[in-house]
Amino acid sequence: SYDARVGVGPTNNLWLKSYGETSNEGTIELHTGGSERIIVTGDGNVGIGTPSPGEKLDVSGNIKLSGNLNVGGYIHPNDESGNLSIYGGNDTTNDAQLLLHGSSNYWGSLELNYGYDATNSFLKISQGSNEHLRITNGGKVGIGTTSPSEKLEVGGNLKISSIGTGNSASSYDLL
């Protein structure tokens, strides 16, 4: 049998109950303006803007969040491109960043910083607190330096195993 109840509890709490014969029944739907807006399925999935949620929370549309989003698992992009985009900042005073890194003493990081001016825009790769590679907004690449002044600047020793091939008439200016 099917049963649904709405009530007010002893401390003025509103409660909704829906009973069905199986765990897939007993759906609760909230409608406004003649359309379903929120659904709670019998198996506990909640849908906002979708009639058949496939996860514990399934939202069709944009989400505005003020505060932190704490994720206890993986973030999986759910489109064919596999892109994960994180935006922030504004055009005049702050930087927008994408920062990916692990934890513990062995973490590595990839930081893409789009600054409000050329000096604050860069891509860097680090291991722990040691930055190993930086590409500046001007296209300069630094390995072992955080502020390259040439197209390629290496802070430390450089080993080149081979330049050119065979007897080709290539030009090599290394200095």
pLDDT of residue 56: 93
Question: Mean pLDDT across the stretch 132-150?
Answer: 92
Q: Is the pLDDT of residue 41 over 70?
A: yes
Q: Is the pLDDT of residue 52 over 80?
A: yes
Tokens (6 digits) for 34: 């003649």
Q: How confident is the model at residue 118 (pLDDT cuts 50, 70, 90)?
A: low
CB 111 within 8 A of CB 98: yes
Distance CA(34)–CA(55), nearest Å, equals 25
Distance CA(47)–CA(45), nearest Å, equals 7
User: SS3 letters for 81-127?
Assistant: CCCCCCCCCCCCCCCEEEEEECCCCCCEEEEEEECCCHHHCEEEEEE
pTM to 2 decimals?
0.52
Cα distances from 165 to residues 2, 98, 152, 173, 174, in angstroms, run: 80, 40, 22, 16, 16
Question: Mean pLDDT across the stretch 20-35?
Answer: 75
Q: Which residues contact 50 (CB under 8 A, 6 or more apart)?
A: 39, 58, 59, 60
Tracing tokens 């003493």 back to the chain, one arrives at 105
pLDDT of residue 144: 92
Cα distances from 103 to residues 97, 108, 126, 129, in angstroms, run: 18, 8, 13, 12
**Residue 142, CB-side half-sphere exposure with 13 Å CA sphere:** 20
Q: Is the pLDDT of residue 170 over 70?
A: no
